Amino acid sequence: MLGSGFIAEFYISAIQGQRSKDKVIAIASRTMSAVDKIADKYDISFRSTEMLDVINHPEVDLVCIGLPNYLHKAAVLACAKAGKGVICTKPLGRNAEEALEMLEAVEEAGVFHGYMEDLVYTPKTLRTMDSIKQGAIGKVLWARSRETHPGPHSDWFWDKNKAGGGAILDLACHCIEIARCFIGKEHKPIEVMCWADTQVKPIEAEDHAIGLVKYSNGAIGQFEVSWAFRGGLDLRDEVMGTHGTVWLNHFLRTGFDMFTAPGQGGYVAEKAESDSGWIFPVGDENQDLGYNHMFADMFNAKENGSLPAETFYDGYIVNAVMDAAYASVKSKKWEPVLLPGWKGPEPEIKSSPVLEDYDDQYYLIKEELLPDGSKKIILKDKNTGEIIQK
């Protein structure tokens, strides 16, 4: 394990808890006091303030990167050089250039690599993806993902140079990949329109953003992110298809509501702002936030010699989309997603409507049941274009 912060503790507890046979045996972080604190808690024997000591440890076969964004590239390149498998937290890089360099390094070295995008592994998300693949909601037209909270835990997040950006880089990376999974990863992201601003926090990076990502099949992915949302961590997704809709609420309001006048007296849930009044605890954060399923997929893939559902290639695509978002914020125009490393097909942009036949003469526009129990049907003539109702 590289890192000893908030996310590292989530990772270690999930790694050593889900499959019951995986063990963190070595850990490095920037200060020994931080290393000792987490290593004592999880019984990790080898400890260092030098990441190369952990990467080159003879018993380590997979390195988990939970470091600040500005250290990802150096850590990944060191793992590739050492021939060690590597899994890296989101975002993969501070920009697409960094991400592509990391992707090329692990591919040239032939080492296992996984992109730790936990929110595509939540039980609700996995179930939704399965339903979409089975055609439950038809063709996906629009996928909307929202992540907002009062701001990240550590100082480096708030430094634009170290982090690479603000709420977009920290949170939209989740939302973009969630939308890709719903829309279909085979569809290339084409262009982005994004608004972002610094409205509340005394920082150089953005603390709010809303963006639209257009895909080659005509679908739209939408992200909404904020570091200034009050009330806790809000994670919601919405998927609209030609024949159905899915609404997902992962955090904040999940059906577990508690009122406590004296206060719970401790940790409630990630980013919770209060432990008294109405609070919204979470039954099992490792499960609900996708960490358990994510590590099971990563480790099973490594053992089977296959690729996990999320690889460095996915991290690179997400970084490229975010680069386009930042370009759009400046230009106030749709900006192209630049993907010199794209491995999928290069289809033409498709935006033709999905037409449903009513009969040989008409397309069906809408069928509606009226208050008196009668049914109204709105139709379009295939030849003349005339719209009628029955």
Per the DSSP assignment, residues forming a β-bridge with 142 are 220, 240
d(C-alpha 335, C-alpha 194), whole Å: 9
Nearest of 106, 35, 81 to residue 341 by alpha carbon: 106
3-state SS class at 88: strand
pTM summary value: 0.91
Q: Tokens 């170290």 correspond to what residue?
A: 162
Amino acid at 360: D
Can you say how many angstroms the Cα of residue 144 is from the centroid of all Cα atoms in its chain?
A: 12
Q: Are 232 and 365 in contact (CB under 8 A)?
A: no
Per-position pLDDT tens, the chain of length 390 = 999 988 999 899 999 887 778 999 999 998 999 999 999 999 999 999 999 999 999 999 999 999 999 999 999 999 999 999 999 999 999 999 999 999 999 999 999 999 999 999 999 999 999 999 999 999 999 999 999 999 998 899 999 999 999 999 999 999 999 999 999 999 999 999 999 999 999 999 999 999 999 999 999 999 999 999 998 899 999 999 999 999 999 988 878 888 888 887 787 787 788 888 888 888 788 888 899 999 999 999 999 999 999 999 999 999 999 999 999 999 999 999 999 999 998 876 666 677 889 999 999 999 998 899 899 999 999 999 999 999
d(C-alpha 180, C-alpha 317), whole Å: 10
Domains of the chain in sequence order: 6-118 (3.40.50.720), 119-289+305-336 (3.30.360.10), 355-390 (no CATH)
Nearest of 35, 221, 37, 57 to residue 146 by alpha carbon: 221
Nearest of 147, 314, 179 to residue 246 by alpha carbon: 179
What pLDDT sits at residue 349? 66
What pLDDT sits at residue 352? 67
Q: Tokens 């109702």 correspond to what residue?
A: 389
What pLDDT sits at residue 236? 96
What pLDDT sits at residue 122? 95
